[in-house]
């Protein structure tokens, strides 16, 4: 099954809607993030990925999610402040979402990819190709700096 995200609308932190299709031509790593999770340190590695590949049409998009253990209880302003001051995050963060149960976009669509089903925990990652199609899904324990993720990103950039 080919999963295309070009029609998916997501809510920016200012409340405006944005289509993932607006990112066509760029490789995206979409991540559900949380500030009080054991995986929170991945913020730094996600920013490092963006810094490494940004000149090659690569972006990380973060979607705060409070579905798992109430680990993202803050307001959007608090989340942005925490991410920037603690981990130097400059990648785009969006409005809070639901990644399981009664999902909201982008997860209503992303959860249909391959090893389908709802996201299982914070910091699950989806790699989206330049054509807006989902390429890969990485569980939370797969670190952003892993060879598996870097190889997939480089293949998508060069593919």
Q: Report, as residue numbers or ranges, the catalytic residues.
A: 37
User: What Cα–Cα distance (Å) separates residue 89 from each residue in 97, 133, 134?
Assistant: 19, 26, 24
Residues 30, 110 contacting (CB under 8 angstroms): yes
The candidate with the shortest Cα–Cα distance to 91, out of 22, 33, 6, 137, is 33
Q: How far apart are CA 79 and CA 76, in angstroms?
A: 5
């Amino acid at each position: 099954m080919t999963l295309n995200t070009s029609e998916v609308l997501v809510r920016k932190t200012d409340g405006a809607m944005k289509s993932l299709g607006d990112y066509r031509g760029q490789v995206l790593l979409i991540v559900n993030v949380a500030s009080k999770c054991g995986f929170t340190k991945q913020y730094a590695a996600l920013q490092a990925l963006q810094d490494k590949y940004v000149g090659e049409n690569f972006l990380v998009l973060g979607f705060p999610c409070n579905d798992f253990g109430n680990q993202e209880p803050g307001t959007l302003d608090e989340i942005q402040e925490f991410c920037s001051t603690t981990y130097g995050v400059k990648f785009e963060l969006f409005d809070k979402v639901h990644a399981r149960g009664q999902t909201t976009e982008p997860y209503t669509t992303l959860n249909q990819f391959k090893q389908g089903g709802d996201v299982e925990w914070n910091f699950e990652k989806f790699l989206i190709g330049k054509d807006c199609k989902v390429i890969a899904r990485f569980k939370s324990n797969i670190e952003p700096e892993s060879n598996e993720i870097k190889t997939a990103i480089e293949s998508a950039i060069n593919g």
